[in-house]
Amino acid sequence: MSAMNLVKRGLFNRLFSLWVVFFIAGCTTTGVGPASQREGAKQAVSESTPKNEGQQRAKIHVELGALYLVDGRPAVAMEEARIALSADPSYAPAYNLLGLVHMGLGEPKQAEENFRQALQLAPGDPEISNNFGWFLCQSGREKQSLAYFDASARNPLYSSPTKPNTNAGICSIRLKNDKAAANFLLEALRLAPENTQAMYWLAEIDYRQGNYVEARRWLSGIEKVQALDAELTWFVLRIERKLGNKEAEARFANDLRKRFANSPEQRLLSQGVYE
């Protein structure tokens, strides 16, 4: 596999990991919204107070399973989801978790079956709608995914509307609609100013359009929130190269060689492959 393909695969893995982290955040917060807007809206089951002991046990095991999934232990996550379903067979977030696990394992048929079962049990659940939308986007059904993101983002009881807006932005990029993508991503940032995913994809749009100063500004925003990994260091290096900032380019090249010596990005640097 070429270094460029490895970079692309790493980007997908990074997106999936961040997405699962977002899912866990949704399990542990409570959404609010104006009373006039809440009528008829569905709160995410994962964010609702359990109605009985069985649902309480199911909720605990789903949250544990999500943590295991982030830790790279999908088999344990799957077992936790099954324990949750033994406690409450109608607990939709358990099927949602199974959908995530199967998606991460590259098993789209099983993933879709579980996401659809989750939505059947909890129609209009904004968390599940967002996750199923992401699955559709990753399955080449980007246009279909946007309706699920829209429903999720519009739900006033959903605590994390930045997630579906971010996902809608990424899928709009795949549809080659940069204008819509930028609007979604800017809304995601308005809702969560430290949303580094949104910053990254806004930088990617600006880079492709030749707006290198703006692209660099978005990545500077990421640097304020987190340390740069190999992928982001490589991205910054390429922007500085486009801007003609030789000193900055050399500094980031040195960082890549020292801190990420065996990375696909460092391999691309050594080969002089910048695009």
* pLDDT in single tens digits along all 275 residues of the chain: 444 444 444 544 555 445 554 555 444 443 444 433 444 567 788 877 888 999 999 999 999 999 999 999 999 999 999 999 999 999 999 999 999 999 999 999 999 999 999 999 999 999 999 999 999 999 999 999 999 999 999 999 998 999 999 999 999 999 999 999 999 999 999 999 999 999 999 999 999 999 999 999 999 999 999 999 999 999 999 999 999 999 999 999 999 999 999 999 999 999 999 98
Q: Please give the Cα distance from 126 to 158 (Å, whole number).
A: 6
Q: What pLDDT, on the 0 to 100 scale, is given for residue 20?
A: 53
* Homologous superfamily, domain 17-29+39-160: Tetratricopeptide repeat domain (1.25.40.10)
Q: What pLDDT, on the 0 to 100 scale, is given for residue 8?
A: 46
Q: Please give the Cα distance from 3 to 9 (Å, whole number).
A: 10
Nearest alpha carbon to residue 275 among 4, 5, 2:
4
- Ranges in the chain annotated CATH 1.25.40.10: 17-29+39-160
Q: Please give the Cα distance from 111 to 21 (Å, whole number).
A: 18
DSSP letters spanning the chain: --HHHHHHHHHHHHHHHHHHHHHHHHHT------HHHHTTPPPPGGGSPPSSHHHHHHHHHHHHHHHHHHTT-HHHHHHHHHHHHHH-TT-HHHHHHHHHHHHHTT-HHHHHHHHHHHHHHSTT-HHHHHHHHHHHHHTT-HHHHHHHHHHHHH-TT-S-THHHHHHHHHHHHHTT-HHHHHHHHHHHHHH-TT-HHHHHHHHHHHHHTT-HHHHHHHHHHHHHHS---HHHHHHHHHHHHHHT-HHHHHHHHHHHHHH-TTSHHHHHHHHT---
Q: What pLDDT, on the 0 to 100 scale, is given for residue 44?
A: 82
For residue 76, what are the contacts with CB-CB under 8 A and spacing of at least 6? 65, 68
pTM of the full structure: 0.84
